[in-house]
Amino acid sequence: REKNERELGRMTARDRASIAFVTRPLTMLDSSLGKPGAGIRVSLQEYHIMGDNAAIFEPLAEGVTDADGRCMQLFPKPSAEQSKEEQAKLKAGKLYKVVFKTKDYFESTGRKCFYPWVEITFEVANPDEHYHIPLLISPYSYTTYRGS
């Protein structure tokens, strides 16, 4: 962790902004227990309008929340021909959706829930800005906001 913090300290503000979504993208808190929600499957999808005007969300990446309720691996590792910056950047003016599979989580803790998954759709105005999306859930409610 110290090494990562030192490396981030050497980066420019623009460099840090370009990887902000990758380093702290999502946080999930089980507000009914006051604990992080660990082991929740999460997917990131990008909105597209097809040639026939049909709208779809194309899956970009999947991950799982860790013991701290964070999903740090949402973006897959870049391929050889793709730089990390190209891989990590969201696109200006595009719509994205994050889907949290909450039913499996609640069932794993012996509880029922009303919402089997939570979808959070958001628009990226400036891809150089930080996009942190916290989700607070309980079996019968959820809330989200744009974090700092």
- The domain that contains 119 carries what CATH number? 2.60.40.180
What is the pairing mode between strands 133-138 and 141-144?
Answer: antiparallel
What is the pairing mode between strands 133-138 and 118-123?
Answer: unpaired
Q: Could you tell me the pTM of the whole model? A: 0.73
| Mean pLDDT, rounded, for 129-143 | 90
The range of the structural domain enclosing residue 26 comes to 2-144
The single-letter code of the amino acid at 90 is L
Q: What is the pLDDT of residues 72-111, one digit of tens each?
A: 777 544 554 554 444 456 778 889 999 999 999 999 999 9
Total structural domains within the chain: 1
